[in-house]
Structure 1
Amino acid sequence: MSTFAIQTLNAISPVGLQRLDRDVFDIGTDIAEPRALLLRSADLHSVEIPDSVYAVARAGAGTNNIPVDRLAARGIPVFNTPGANANAVKELVIAGMLLAARNLYHAADYTRDLVAGRALSGKDLDKQVEAGKKQFAGFELPGRTLGVVGLGAIGVLVANAAQSLGLKVLGYDPAITVERAWQLSPQVEQVTSVEELFSRSDMVTPHVPLVEGTRGLVDAHRISLMPEGGVILNFARGGVVDEAAVLEALDSGHLHAYVNDFPTEAGAIHPKVIALPHLGASTGEAEDNCAVMAVDQLSDFLLHGNIRNSVNFPEVVMARTPGTTRLGIFNQNRPTMIGQITGVLGEAGLNVAEFTNRSRGEYAYTLVDVEGEVMDDLKQSILAIDGVVRARKL
C-alpha cells in the first residue's frame, strides 16, 4: 500500500495522531510534497498550497483561516470537526452566563485590588468586603429567558443545559437538522424569527458560523428589542456581533453585560465587558476530540475517497465493493457530467459495480467502483472531460 504524507501545521493532539497507521501514513511538520495538511489555527490564505495536496483538515469547527473556495476550485476538500468541541464551548457559555448574572469577574477584581492596595487582612478585610459587596449584587438565572440563535451541535447543548438550570429557552434555526431536532429538549421553544427571539430574551447567545449572512447578526436594532438589563454572550465568532452597537448599549444602561471570547482593544477595557482570550475549545478533552475527528475523516478520504464533514464538497460515503478499483472524481456541477464520466468508463471496457454522485453548490463529487483492469491513461481521459477538476485512483 502506498504511503500518504501528512504535514501538520500546528501542534495536533497525539491522541488523534496515534490513530494513523505509520506503515501507511508519514506525519511531520517539514514535508516537501504532502498529500494532506492537518492544522488548527495556521493561516493558509497567503500560503502556496502544492499540487500534491489532496485534502486539508482542520481540528476545529471554524475555517476562516482556510481559502475554502479556492481549494474547492482545485478539487481539494476542506474538512472540519463540528461538534467535537461542543461540550467545551457549552460549559464556557454557561460559565459566561453566571459571570454576568452574579458580576463575578468584576467582584473578584475588586477583592484582589482591595487587598493589594490597602494591605488589609482579618477583620479589616471583612468590613471592607461587606461594605463594597452591594455594588456587585446580581440576579439568578431561573425565571430568566435565554435566546439561542443557531441550533447546531453547540447550540443544542447550550439550550438543553440552560433549560435544566431553570431558564426559559427560546431557539431559532430555520435550517435545524433532524438529528439536532431529536437532541433538543422539548421544553425549548422554537421561534420563527431572530427579532422575536431578541424581543423576548434577557440573554442572547449566537452559535452560528461567520458568513456574509451572519456578520453583524447582533446589531443595534436587535439589541434595542431586548428588555432593559440584557446580556449578550458571544462564543461563536467576533464578527457575528456588532461590538460598537453593544458598547453603546452598555453605556446607555440598556445592556447589563457583554461576555465574549474575542477581545478587542475597545471591548477589553470596558467596565461592563468580560473578554476572554478565545478559550472556547481550550480544554484537553476538546483538543483530543477535534484531533481524533479530523484524523479519522482525513484518513477515510485518503484511503477510500469518502467525504464526511467537508465545508466545500458534499458528503459522499460508499462502502467499497470487493474486487474492484475505486475512482474519486471532482467536477463542476453541470448537466451531462455523469453521462460523460460513465461514457469514458464504458469506452475503457470497465463495468460500473457501484456509483454515487452528490452535488453542493458549484461542485459535485463522484465515487465509482469499477470492475476490470484500470489502465494508466484512464485518469487523463477523465480529466479531459470539460468540467472535471480532479480525479484519483484509489
Structure 2
Amino acid sequence: MFQVKTFNAIAPEGMERFEKERYAINESDTPDGIILRSQKLHDYDFPKSVLAVARAGAGTNNIPVAECTEKGIVVFNTPGANANAVKELVLASLLLNVRPILQSVQWLEQQTGPNLEEQVEANKKQFAGHELVGKKLGVIGLGSIGAMIANDAYRLGMEVIGYDPYVSVDTAWSISRRVKRAQEMAEVLTTCDFITIHVPLLDSTKNLISTKELAMMKPSARLFNFSRGEIVDTQAVIQAVETKEIAGFTTDFAQEQLLHHPDVLVLPHLGASTEEAEINCAKMAARTLKRYLETGVIKYSVNFPTVDMSFRSPNRLTVIHQNVPNMLGTISSTIAEFGINIDNMVNRGRDQFAYTLVDVAEEDAAKLQKVADKLTETESIVRVRVIQNPEVLS
C-alpha cells in the first residue's frame, strides 16, 4: 500500500483518485508521495521514503527543487490546469484598464437622493473609457496561459504579438496563425499598447522587466504581471508609473509599496482562485503522482525528464542517476549478472541527471531487489525502485 501525505486542503475530486485499497492518506510519517498547494517545504525534513512531490499548481517556488533532485525525489506541477482561470482574470484586467468600471461602481455607491437616475445620466460621461478593438497586445511567454490569452485577445479584435524563444511544439500548434511572433522582446516592448508577462520565475527571468525595459515602452502602454511578483522590478515600475514613463501597471501579487497608486491595480493573487481551477489542479497532481508511484512514468516534472513506456512485463526497474557516460552499460551489465533478460528499456537525460526505465521478464521479487541493491552501490546512481505489474503477476 502506498502512503500519501497532504499539505493544505486538496480538492476531494483529486484525492478521490487514490483508491482506498491501494492508498492510505495521512496515516504515516514516512510517506511515498506528497501532494500540496502553497505549503512551504524549504524547512521540511524529507523522509527517505519520499519518492515524489506533486504541487497542485504551476509554480514550485515553495518546494526545494534542487534538494529534491539530489535525493532522487521527482517534483511534479500541473501546467495548464489553472490556465483558463488566469487567462480570464487577465482579460478582465484588460477591460478594467480601458473602462473605469470599478471607479464608476464606487462613485455610484456614494450617491443618494430621490433624483438618482438624473445624477447618473448627468455624471456618467466622467467614466467614458476606450475599447480593446484595434489595440496591440504583447504577450511575453507563450506557454499554456500566454497562448490562451493570445488567441482570445485576437478574437476580441486586438492585434496580438507574442514573444517566446522557447515555445514548445505542442503550444506552437495551439496558437492562432494570426498571432504575430516577435523575434526579440524589444519588438513587443516598443510597439504594444498592453504587455502581459507569462514566464516562469528563474534566475534568468528575475527582474525581467526593469528600468531598461520600462524605458522602451510607450508612455501610453500598460504592463500586466500575472506570473510571479519577482518577474517585474517593483521599484523600477513604481518610478515608471509616477514619472508617466508608462500609463499603468496591473499585478496579481500584493506588495505594500504598490498600494495606493492611482495608476497601479493590485489584485490579491486571484489568478488560480476558481473552484474549477483548484479541482483541475488537484486532479492533475493526483494523476501524475499516482502514475509515477504505480508505473514509474514521469510526466510534468520540473526536475526530471519526461519518460514514458508501456508497462507489459512482470516487473520494472526505475533508475535515477547522474547524466554521465556508460550508465546504460552499467545498468544492463548488472542486470545481466543475475541472469535476467531485459524486455524493454528507455533512457532520458535532463541537465545533470537522467532517468532510466527497464522492463524485465523476471518475476522473482527478491532477486530483483538484489539487483536494485547492487545498482544503488554505484556512485552515480541516486535511487532504484522495483515496481511489480499487478496486471501481469495476478
Smaller-chain TM-score bracket: over 0.9
- CA offset at residue 255 of structure 1? 2.2
Q: Which residue of structure 1 lines up, in the alignment, with residue 169 of structure 2?
A: 178
Q: Which residue of structure 1 lines up, in the alignment, with residue 300 of structure 2?
A: 309
**Which residue type is aligned with residue 13 of structure 2?**
V
Q: Which residue of structure 2 lines up, in the alignment, with residue 37 of structure 1?
A: 34
CA deviation digits over 1:123-155, x for unaligned, max 9?
2x4455456545443221011100000111100
**Which residue type is aligned with residue 260 of structure 2?**
I
2:329 equivalent to 1:339: yes
Question: Which SS does the other structure have where 1:377 is aligned?
Answer: helix
Aligned equivalents of 2:101 and 2:244: distance in 1? 19
Q: Which residue of structure 2 lines up, in the alignment, with residue 238 of structure 1?
A: 229
- CA offset at residue 336 of structure 1? 1.0
2:347 equivalent to 1:378: no
Aligned equivalents of 1:109 and 1:339: distance in 2? 70
Aligned equivalents of 1:122 and 1:195: distance in 2? 55
Identity of aligned residues (%): 43
Question: Which SS does the other structure have where 1:255 is aligned?
Answer: coil
**Which residue type is aligned with residue 339 of structure 1?**
G
C-alpha change, 1:357 and 1:157, in structure 2 (3 Å) is: same
TM-score normalised by L of structure 2 = 0.94
Q: Which residue of structure 1 lines up, in the alignment, with residue 62 of structure 2?
A: 65
CA deviation digits over 1:97-132, x for unaligned, max 9?
0011112233333333x33xxxx2332x44554565
Q: Which residue of structure 2 lines up, in the alignment, with residue 9 of structure 1?
A: 7
Q: Which residue of structure 2 lines up, in the alignment, with residue 25 of structure 1?
A: 23
- CA offset at residue 33 of structure 1? 1.1
**Which residue type is aligned with residue 249 of structure 2?**
Y
Aligned equivalents of 1:122 and 1:334: distance in 2? 81
- CA offset at residue 21 of structure 1? 1.1
114, 124, 142: which is aligned to 1:122?
Answer: 114
Q: Which residue of structure 2 lines up, in the alignment, with residue 225 of structure 1?
A: 216
Aligned equivalents of 2:231 and 2:221: distance in 1? 17
Q: Which residue of structure 2 lines up, in the alignment, with residue 293 of structure 1?
A: 284
Query: Is the contact made by 1:105 and 1:274 (CA closer than 8 Å) also made in structure 2?
Result: no
Q: Which residue of structure 2 lines up, in the alignment, with residue 392 of structure 1?
A: 385
CA deviation digits over 1:362-391, x for unaligned, max 9?
100010011223513222100011200001
Question: Which SS does the other structure have where 2:247 is aligned?
Answer: strand
Q: Which residue of structure 1 lines up, in the alignment, with residue 392 of structure 2?
A: none
Q: Which residue of structure 2 lines up, in the alignment, with residue 262 of structure 1?
A: 253
Alignment of 1:320-359 (within 5 A): 320-322=311-313, 324-359=314-349
- CA offset at residue 355 of structure 1? 0.3
TM-score normalised by L of structure 1 = 0.94
2:193 equivalent to 1:196: no
Matched positions, count: 384
2:142 equivalent to 1:151: yes
Aligned equivalents of 2:239 and 2:125: distance in 1? 25
Aligned equivalents of 2:92 and 2:193: distance in 1? 16
In the alignment, structure 1 segments of 5+ residues that lack a partner are: none
C-alpha change, 1:208 and 1:14, in structure 2 (3 Å) is: same
Greater mean alpha carbon deviation, residues 371-380 or residues 356-365: 371-380
Query: Is the contact made by 1:321 and 1:354 (CA closer than 8 Å) also made in structure 2?
Result: no
2:85 equivalent to 1:88: yes
Aligned equivalents of 1:353 and 1:268: distance in 2? 61
**Which residue type is aligned with residue 380 of structure 1?**
D
Aligned equivalents of 2:214 and 2:99: distance in 1? 21
**Which residue type is aligned with residue 387 of structure 1?**
S
Greater mean alpha carbon deviation, residues 332-341 or residues 132-141: 132-141
Q: Which residue of structure 2 lines up, in the alignment, with residue 48 of structure 1?
A: 45
CA deviation digits over 1:341-361, x for unaligned, max 9?
111101111111000010000
Aligned equivalents of 1:158 and 1:122: distance in 2? 44
RMSD: 1.4
C-alpha change, 1:384 and 1:193, in structure 2 (3 Å) is: same
Query: Is the contact made by 1:321 and 1:353 (CA closer than 8 Å) also made in structure 2?
Result: no
In the alignment, structure 2 segments of 5+ residues that lack a partner are: 388-394
- CA offset at residue 325 of structure 1? 1.2
Aligned equivalents of 2:100 and 2:328: distance in 1? 60
Aligned equivalents of 1:156 and 1:231: distance in 2? 19
- CA offset at residue 171 of structure 1? 0.2
**Which residue type is aligned with residue 14 of structure 1?**
P
Q: Which residue of structure 1 lines up, in the alignment, with residue 351 of structure 2?
A: 361
Question: Which SS does the other structure have where 2:202 is aligned?
Answer: coil
Query: Is the contact made by 1:59 and 1:80 (CA closer than 8 Å) also made in structure 2?
Result: yes
CA deviation digits over 1:45-87, x for unaligned, max 9?
0111111111000000000000001000000000000000010
**Which residue type is aligned with residue 9 of structure 2?**
A
**Which residue type is aligned with residue 329 of structure 2?**
G
Aligned equivalents of 2:114 and 2:159: distance in 1? 42
